Chains A and B, each alone.
Chain A
Amino acid sequence: MFYDICTVFWRDWVVLKRRLPKFILSRMVAPMLYLVAFGWGLGRNIQVGSGSYIDFLVPGIMALNSMNISYNSLTPLCTERVYHRSIGEYIIAPMTPSAFLVGKVLAAVLRGLISSAIIMGLAFAFGATLNITVFYIVVLILNCVIFAEVGFFAALSTDSFEELSQVNTYILLPMSFLCGTFFTTAALPDIIRVFIDILPLTHTSYLLRGIATQSPVAWESVAVLVLYAIIGFILGMKAYNNQLK
């Protein structure tokens, strides 16, 4: 099992390694824009609690960015399944489906962490003061795992890139703005807030922000994230088995 996970991870690493400079460069664009627009531009006039807005903003950006990167690192699986059919190699290989899922998710986590490191570097350059701990990174990893699983599920359950991008438009994009990333959900009307507070990205944003500002840890949020990761795993396995039907 471990060997198979490594093999699946190895494949994604080989592909990533070849494009690493491009990957890093392209991953700098969006966070840089957020930091400039919301941190420098709008942020000067915004007061949140005691700290500066940029300190509030950076954990939110890291949450939404790790979500997007890990989700999108799994979307090519859709074309690999539908058009190139290269996923067939894994299906007929003596390997359990879970090894495939875990290997793919770990590769997505790696991408998520690389891009998070880029943001961290940029944030410090923009003058943010954050307390980054091991626990902070654990939460980031958990977030990557959840959205990699969402990507895995989506890639194996949809038949075209277009359907896949709808997941992006209708689910990820709203989440990236509403889930406590750019402003606290307390500002939202109650009905919407209750719904938003259930979503995993909200918990990630608050957890990251809490750690960065050295507030007490919200363990219930950690539990929620773990639960999402487990559900994501089960759904991923279901999607894998469904395509054999």
Chain B
Amino acid sequence: MIKIDNLVKEFTIRDEHKKRVKHLAVDNLSLEVQDGEIFGLLGPNGAGKTTTIRMLTMEMEPTAGNVVYNGCSIFKDPLSIKKMIGVVPQNINFDNDLTVGENMELHAKLHHMPVTERKRKIAEMLEFVELTHTVNLMPKALSGGMKRRLLIARALVHSPQILFMDEPTVALDPQVRRRIWDLIRALAANGTTVVLTTHYIEEAEALCNRVAIINTGKLIDIDTPESFCNRMGRMAVEWDSPEGRQYKFFDSRKEAAAYAADLEHGAHIRKTNLEDAFIELTGRKEGV
């Protein structure tokens, strides 16, 4: 179990007058992630998802607060926690002086994998992301999506118990994305805990047992995707008006249909989805 306890991250940045100001990126975040769970961290750009993940993975020190993995604090024994975790970072961060294969090998060596297991696991992961043929290429020779696939493969080489994925499927084609989804489900079924962020709300809906919605560094709400939708009302009516597209939510199809029938222009009735809840909770952006 991962217990996040009043986590705070404050950056010092320079404002438009070049004055030093404090910027609160993560603001007293507390939540728990259960073992074997696929947990989604959702929020608009700049909400603090990546900063949170970087603190959880000890790439960055919290300004305040604590993170406890199975009873062990990140301040007490960071190395044994680091052994358990794997990270797919938001930014592509390969060593550009090493080949694809050497990048994988570096990762495996950093995790003290014995030679035979290292070779087998690297081959297996490259095969899975269909990059076996690139083993001797430099990372710069890969396409954007190939690099993303390689990031995922690398994070899994040492079979981590807990996997952090920061926008893992961005820039992937639909076929590959579905395969990555299957992989994530399979990992969770085998007991791996997965914490992921994504802007593809349907991805969170398809994968996550629970999602936390955060905005401006604060936890807004946390629940299962179904509960989020149910709380909104199970059915949505969507129609166009001079002010743009409008939405209204109802508990039953009957109520939704009755409302839609009263509208002058054509309306569309559908099931409420997590994206509706997300937008409702994080606020519509004016002018966007």
Contacts and interface: CB of A to CB of B under 8 A. Distances in A.
A97 to B, nearest CB: 10
B109 A10 contact: yes
22 contacts: A4-B110, A7-B106, A11-B98, A11-B106, A14-B98, A15-B98, A84-B94, A84-B96, A85-B89, A85-B91, A88-B59, A89-B110, A92-B58, A93-B82, A93-B107, A93-B110, A93-B111, A94-B110, A95-B79, A244-B59, A244-B60, A244-B61
Nearest to B81: A94
Interface in A1-42: 3-4, 7, 10-11, 14-15
A163 interface: no
B87 interface: yes
Interface in B83-97: 83, 85, 87, 89, 91, 93-97
Nearest to A95: B110
A40 B25 CA distance: 63
A213 to B, nearest CB: 41
A86 B94 contact: yes
Given A3-B112, A89-B110, A96-B79, A11 B89 contact: no
Of the four ranges (under 10, 10 to 19, 20 to 34, 35 or more), the interface on chain B belongs to 20 to 34
A contact patch SS: helix
Nearest to A244: B61
A80 interface: yes
Contacts of B57: 92
B158 to A, nearest CB: 9
B109 A7 contact: yes
B34 interface: no
Given A14-B102, A15-B98, A94-B79, A89 B93 contact: yes
B80 A94 contact: yes
Interface in A76-134: 76, 80, 84-86, 88-96
The listed residue with most B CB atoms (<10 A of its CB), out of A10, A85, A92, is A92
B61 A245 contact: yes
A95 B83 CA distance: 9
Interface in B168-208: none
Contacts of B110: 4, 7, 89-90, 93-95
A7 B105 CA distance: 10
A4 B110 CA distance: 7
Given A92-B82, A93-B110, A95-B79, 6 more contacts: A10-B109, A11-B95, A86-B94, A88-B59, A91-B58, A245-B61
B104 to A, nearest CB: 11
Nearest to A10: B109
Contacts of A96: 79
Contacts of B106: 7, 10-11, 89
Contact of A89 (B79, B95, B97): B95
Contacts of B96: 84, 86
Contact of B97 (A7, A10, A15, A93): A15
A88 B111 CA distance: 14
B80 to A, nearest CB: 7
A89 B61 contact: no
A91 B111 contact: no
A88 B102 CA distance: 16
Nearest to B155: A92
Contacts of B85: 92
Contacts of A92: 57-59, 82, 85, 87
Interface in B102-137: 102, 106-107, 109-112
A91 B59 contact: yes
A3 B118 CA distance: 15
